[in-house]
Amino acid sequence: MGNPFTGPVHAPHFVDDDLSEVLHDLNENGYRLTTEHFHPHFEFRFPAFGTVAYKNITLELRQAIEPWNVLGEEAGGGGTVRFVDSSLERVQVKVEG
């Protein structure tokens, strides 16, 4: 069945919550930033696969972050090469309504 999801911190919903908290703290200390400033970065990192709405229920599929496991290190031309397992993908399914 594969490895379990490494934690909610990698789901877009929780990353957005954390970013909102940080921006709130920054705004309280005189730095005027909004989530709109970071929207392009969020969409790049967590692209939406699609959204479906039926009556008052909305279902959204969005890519989540999956940290890559380092499989090993080898000497390479000019430095160290780290091989990673990039075969896993994670998806967030968010239902509202």
3 domain residue, yes or no: no
pLDDT digits (tens, 9 = 90+) for 10-32: 789 888 998 999 999 999 999 99
Do residues 93 and 12 make contact, with C-beta atoms less than 8 angstroms apart?
no
CA–CA separation, 27 and 56 (whole Å): 33
> What's residue 87's pLDDT?
62
Model confidence over 34-73: pLDDT tens digits?
999 999 999 999 999 999 999 999 999 999 887 776 667 7
Amino acid, single-letter form, for residue 38:
F
Overall number of domains in the chain: 1
Q: DSSP for 44-60, please give it.
A: HHS-EEEEEEETTEEEE
Measuring CA to CA, which residue among 83, 96, 84 is closest to residue 56? 96
pLDDT band of residue 1 (cuts 50, 70, 90) is: very low
Does residue 20 lie within any of the structural domains? yes
- Domain limits for position 27: 8-96
